[in-house]
């Protein structure tokens, strides 16, 4: 098995077409097909079903797909690590954060990092925590700020808690109470995030623990869409207090007070690159010296 064969395999898996895959990786189609056949022979199983020109992954191909992606990602990381040994003058770091942090703290951290290491390219992924965890495990990110949940076991990741965020009930109009109990949400339609957001699972679990199944006004949105849906009065949503700063929304604290812990995570089996370690240092240094937004509390020493 060679790295080139894995590149060809991923190209065919992505395009579902041998000719298009060959064009993508800039190789003659017969050469690509020959390498795929050699890989299948090496593994002792067909990777693609080629019935009537319809290319689909076989069970063996489905099993190889995430592994091949991680292998090539790790090879790319190794190349960058060697390049960075010249003194962090060039390279790349791939970082992720939840929308609440991208909209509040992350921009300042990236600015400070860019000022210190202008030759390092920063690639940012903004997504729900569960999606970020999957991206880390797949080798698609070097570091990410994710939600620490006792119910989850991220054995593939090393997670260091750094922040606590207060959760509030966002609404277009004041709800008429200083604090809202979870049971009160039974009488309010909810605007719900798409799957992949930790806030979705947290809200559903909390409502069910309180003894009721929440009613949805609309579901499937990203953070900006959810807040806009709340603004026009479609329903309420449980969100971090920090995302309301630039919105014409009201935030009602929950009773009892509810927070979530944010941790800085990376893969346990792959040491962070020099650029990633530098980013972690800049991030932690910034958090220790910054004035935290309302509702955000530092947990790292």
Are residue 270 and residue 255 in the same domain, yes or no? no
Write down which residue in 20, 40, 65 finishes a domain. Answer: 65
Task: Specify the pLDDT at position 246.
Answer: 75
* Residue 72 within a domain: no
Same domain, 151 and 290: yes
Q: In this structure, what token pair is assigned to residue 152? A: 């989850």
**Chain segment 190-249, per-residue pLDDT in tens:** 999 988 888 898 889 889 988 999 999 999 888 889 999 999 999 999 999 888 877 889
> Is the pLDDT confidence value at 153 over 60?
no
Tokens of 212: 């009721």
Distance from C-alpha of 279 to C-alpha of 114, rounded to nearest angstrom: 10
| Three-class SS state of 157 | strand
Task: Give domain status of residue 84, yes or no.
Answer: yes
> Is the same domain home to 61 and 208?
no
pLDDT of 152 strictly over 70? no
* Domain shared by 152 and 269, yes or no: yes
Does residue 198 lie within any of the structural domains?
A: yes
Pairing type for strands 120-126 and 91-97 reads parallel
142 and 177 part of one domain: no
Measure Cα distances from 221 to 186, 231, 247 in Å. Answer: 21, 14, 17
Burial of 92 (0-12, 13-18, 19+ CB in 10 A): middle
Q: What is the pLDDT of residues 90-137, one digit of tens each?
A: 778 999 998 888 877 888 899 999 998 888 889 999 998 889 998 998
280 pLDDT band (50/70/90 cuts)?
very high
Task: Give this prediction's pTM.
Answer: 0.66
Same domain, 155 and 268: yes
Nearest by Cα to 162 from 286, 266, 298: 298
CATH number at residue 168: 3.40.190.290
Q: Are strands 250-255 and 157-171 parallel, antiparallel or unpaired?
A: antiparallel
Cα 60 to Cα 47: distance, rounded to the nearest angstrom:
6
Asked if 146 and 183 sit in the same domain, the reply is no
Query: Which residue, chain included where needed, has tokens 């569960």?
Result: 130
**Can you tell me the mean pLDDT for 166-181?**
92
Classify residue 71: in a domain, yes or no. Answer: no
The answer to whether 163 and 296 are in contact (CB under 8 A) is: yes
85 and 132 part of one domain:
yes
Same domain for 253 and 170, yes or no, is: yes
CB 282 within 8 A of CB 290: no
For residue 270, give the H/E element and its range. Answer: none
CATH number of the domain encompassing residue 143 = 3.40.190.10
Same domain membership, residue 146 and residue 105: yes
Do residue 254 and residue 201 come from a single domain? yes
Residue 73 inside a domain? The answer is no
Higher-confidence residue of 75 and 82: namely: 75
Residue at 74 is within a domain: no
In a domain, 276, yes or no: yes
Instruction: Please state the domain count of the chain.
Output: 3
What are the structure tokens assigned to 272, written together? 């962070």
Q: What is the pLDDT of residue 227?
A: 93
pLDDT at 252 over 80: yes
At residue 150, the pLDDT reads: 63
Residues 210, 183 contacting (CB under 8 angstroms): yes
Inter-residue contact 143 to 264 (CB < 8 Å): yes
Residue 20: give the domain boundaries: 3-65
For the chain, how are helix, strand and coil distributed in percent, rounded to 5?
45, 25, 30
Any domain includes 221 = yes
Check whether residue 168 and residue 240 sit in a common domain. Answer: yes
**3 state SS of 82:** helix
């Amino acid at each position: 098995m060679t790295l080139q064969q894995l590149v060809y395999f991923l190209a065919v898996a992505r395009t579902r077409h041998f000719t298009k895959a060959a064009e993508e990786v800039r190789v003659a189609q017969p050469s690509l097909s020959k390498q795929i056949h050699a890989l299948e022979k090496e593994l002792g199983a067909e990777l693609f079903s080629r019935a009537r020109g319809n290319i689909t992954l076989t069970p063996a191909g489905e099993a190889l797909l995430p592994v091949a992606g991680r292998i090539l990602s790790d090879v790319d990381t190794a190349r960058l690590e060697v390049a960075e040994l010249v003194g962090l003058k060039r390279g790349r770091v791939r970082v992720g954060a939840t929308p609440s942090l991208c909209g509040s703290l992350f921009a300042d951290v990236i600015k400070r990092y860019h000022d210190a290491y202008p030759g390092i390219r920063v690639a940012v992924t903004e997504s729900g925590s569960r999606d970020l965890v999957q991206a880390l495990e797949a080798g698609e990110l070097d570091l990410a700020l994710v939600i620490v949940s006792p119910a989850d076991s991220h054995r593939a990741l090393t997670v260091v808690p750094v922040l606590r965020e207060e959760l509030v009930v966002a609404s277009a109009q004041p709800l008429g109470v200083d604090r809202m109990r979870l049971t009160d949400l039974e009488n309010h339609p909810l605007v719900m995030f798409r799957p992949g957001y930790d806030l979705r699972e947290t809200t559903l679990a909390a409502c069910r623990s309180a003894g009721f199944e929440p009613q949805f006004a609309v579901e499937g949105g990203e953070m900006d869409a959810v807040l806009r849906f709340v603004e026009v009065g479609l329903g309420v949503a449980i969100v971090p207090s920090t995302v309301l700063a630039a919105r014409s929304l009201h935030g009602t604290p929950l009773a009892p007070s509810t927070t979530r812990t944010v941790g800085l995570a990376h893969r346990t089996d792959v040491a962070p690159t020099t650029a990633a370690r530098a980013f972690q240092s800049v991030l932690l240094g910034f958090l220790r010296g910054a004035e935290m937004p309302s509702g955000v509390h530092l947990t790292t020493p």
